[in-house]
Amino acid sequence: MTAGTAQLSLRSSLHTIAAMVRRASNELLRVPGAAIPGILAPTIFFLGLTAVFGNLTNLPGFDADSYESFLIPVTLMQGAGFTGAATGVNLARDIEQGLFDRFLASPTPRWVLLTGLVLSASMRALIPGTVLFMVALATGVEFPGALGLLIAIAAVMGMAMVASCWAIAIALRFKTQSAAPLMQSVMLALILTTTAYAPQELLTGWLYDAALINPATHIVEAARQGFIGDVSWAETWPGIVALLGLVALLAALALRGMRRTAY
Amino acid sequence: MSPATTLRVIGSLGARAVKQTFRRPQLMAPLLIFPTLLLAIQTGGAGRAIDLPGFPVVNGFFDFMLAGAMIQSTLLAGNTGGIALAVDIETGFTDRLLAAPIPRFTIVAGRLVGTAVLGALTAVWFVVIGLLFGAEINEGPLGVLAMIGLVTLSATAFGSIGAAIALRSGSASVVQGMFPLVFVILFLSSAFFPQELLLEPARTIAELNPLSYIVEAVRDPVIGAFDATNLLEGLGGLAIVATFGVTLAALAMRRRLRIG
């Protein structure tokens, strides 16, 4: 392949990715209700859990004064997880209706299709992220500072990429929207088996060990730092590594599923 | 139609409802997997809560949470039963039942029998999970029986609300959309934490929420002892929910028959 052909191919791939992101945005504009699941469930969990477990901050060793501030990063991750999972549900619908077959029959490389889907998920995740952040500020969560907010946004977009890669892999494996609970519940388990409810030292039993080995713990901690204290590189880099690792692993799984699909 | 035949119709529709749930994993999974997952995570995540001043004396947070998980499961069973009934309406099965020479109430009663059976099965599931993972049921086998009975009644009561929504809307996605409300009702009760330790306004709402009294009645045999007052309050809570659900279901059925 000559340099000119490669450049043309790359430009064409970028055009396709942009078209897929645009398609996802159009979908959201035409069916605004599609954004509700990513907002409603995390909001209910946020308000409900702070009302129920708010007194946990009185435990010795709890490193936050406000449970709302402690919980909001988890809520943001939940919103991103649900939005990413919705990408898989939409893909399953496209597979059921035969639309995805047409994408596969086109000369577009598989990685381009995957990138388009994953990028659209990461951008869509900003909608529930923004709403949830507003709800949090309204309930007294302190502004995390510019850097803290930037890290939280990156974590939201990254978690949506993780969730969408997982959901796409499942959609390609089962080819039905009925697999939606599997897409959502695994993401929920990944996010909640971290330091979601309490700091690591206050977790008990199996969850203490699970949170220690769960890479999502580092993502939650990175997103949380600005909300409960100062931002530091030491708290940030493990989150970046965990995000990159999860995206690479699950993207490989999704790509494998895409390559195994007919055509 | 003789009472025996009516009972046979209800039994057949109930058996169909149970089989339907077992044949569709997407209906069964939320009843067991979600509450079990939350039970495990909340027990590990908030387990140190028992050290808070004012927390009742318990063997462990897991023991305290067991009743909440059971009742959560019954709320989801009610929602699942509603979804299944709505699917029957969408696919025309209910129309065929309405055209059949059977009393109309058997359509809902059959569905509720199915939901009750599922409620009993989830109660057994959580008792087994509880015993396997070290819960101590203070009232022993009698306490277990009381818990299963109350959870079964709870599933039936919440099933009537699910049936009412299904009959009113005739849409599975509308009933499915009620799913988040299950958690609103749960969080605003003493299902997951002692009422005295909830933050306001949740504490005041929990005091008025019949679900709190149902949960406390199920929880008593695990963490304490049978208490006649709590048991009566729990049964009262169940009666309120059931009356509300059955009335709404009857009105929704009447409306459905009127508009055809």
Strand ranges (DSSP E) for chain B?
A: none
What is the residue whose two structure tokens read 């087994």? B128
User: What pLDDT does B108 receive?
Assistant: 86
Which of A51, A185, A198 minimises the CB distance to B45?
A: A198
Q: Which residue of A has its CA nearest to B201?
A: A51
User: What pLDDT does A153 receive?
Assistant: 95
Global ipTM = 0.80
Binned at pLDDT 50, 70 and 90, residue A154 comes out as: very high
The three-state secondary structure class of B59 is: coil
User: What pLDDT does B6 receive?
Assistant: 86
In sequence order, the 6+-apart residues with CB closer than 8 A to the CB of A152 are A73, A76, A129, A133, A144, A223, A226, A227
Whether residue B47 lies within 8 A of chain A, CB to CB, comes out as: yes
B197 vs A contacts (CB less than 8 Å): 55
Would the pLDDT of B187 be above 60? yes
The pair of structure tokens assigned to B91 is 């696919």
Which of A48, A55, A206 minimises the CB distance to B44?
A: A206
How crowded is the C-beta side of B133, counted as CA atoms within 13 Å? Answer: 19
Binned at pLDDT 50, 70 and 90, residue A37 comes out as: low
**Global confidence as pTM:** 0.83
The pair of structure tokens assigned to A44 is 């209910």
End-to-end CA distance of chain B: 24
User: What pLDDT does B26 receive?
Assistant: 65
User: What pLDDT does A3 receive?
Assistant: 64
End-to-end CA distance of chain A: 23
Query: A31, A52, A194, A214: best mutation site toward chain B, by most B Cβ within 10 Å?
Result: A52
Would the pLDDT of B1 be above 80? no
Weakest-pLDDT range from A203-217, B14-28, B68-82: B14-28
**A73: cis peptide before it, omega within 30°?**
no
Distance CA A68, CA A140 (A): 8
User: What pLDDT does A263 receive?
Assistant: 52
Binned at pLDDT 50, 70 and 90, residue A32 comes out as: low
pLDDT digits (tens, 9 = 90+) for B27-54: 677 788 888 988 999 999 888 988 888 8
Query: Of residues A150 and A42, which shows the higher confidence score?
Result: A150
Which of B26, B37, B48 minimises the CB distance to A178?
A: B26
Binned at pLDDT 50, 70 and 90, residue A200 comes out as: very high
pLDDT digits (tens, 9 = 90+) for B166-186: 888 887 777 777 777 888 888
Would the pLDDT of A5 be above 80? no
Query: Does the beta-carbon distance from B199 to A181 stay under 8 Å?
Result: no
pLDDT digits (tens, 9 = 90+) for B107-135: 888 989 989 999 999 999 999 999 999 88
The per-residue DSSP string of B146-176 comes to HHHHHHHHHHHHHHHHHHHHHHHH--HHHHH
- The single-letter code of the amino acid at A145 is G
DSSP state of B50: G
Would the pLDDT of B213 be above 60? yes
Would the pLDDT of B231 be above 70? yes
CB atoms under 10 Å from CB of A65, counted, come to 11
Whether residue B51 lies within 8 A of chain A, CB to CB, comes out as: yes
Which of A52, A204, A206 minimises the CB distance to B193?
A: A52
* Mean pLDDT score, B14-25: 83
Q: Which residue of B has its CA nearest to A39?
A: B180
DSSP state of B191: S
Percent over 90 (pLDDT), chain A: 45
Would the pLDDT of A251 be above 90? yes
The pair of structure tokens assigned to B3 is 């009472």
In contact, A37 and A86? CB cutoff 8 Å: yes
Query: Does the beta-carbon distance from A55 to B48 stay under 8 Å?
Result: no
Task: Identify the burial level of A248 via C-beta atoms within 10 angstroms of its C-beta, where 0-12 means exposed, 13-18 middle and 19 or more buried.
Answer: exposed
Query: B187, B192, B203: best mutation site toward chain A, by most A Cβ within 10 Å?
Result: B187
Would the pLDDT of A1 be above 60? no
Whether residue B250 lies within 8 A of chain A, CB to CB, comes out as: no
Question: To the nearest whole angstrom, how far is the Cα of A6 from the nearest Cα of chain B?
Answer: 46
Distance CA B160, CA B33 (A): 23
pLDDT digits (tens, 9 = 90+) for A92-136: 888 888 888 888 888 888 888 889 989 999 998 898 899 999 999
DSSP state of B260: -
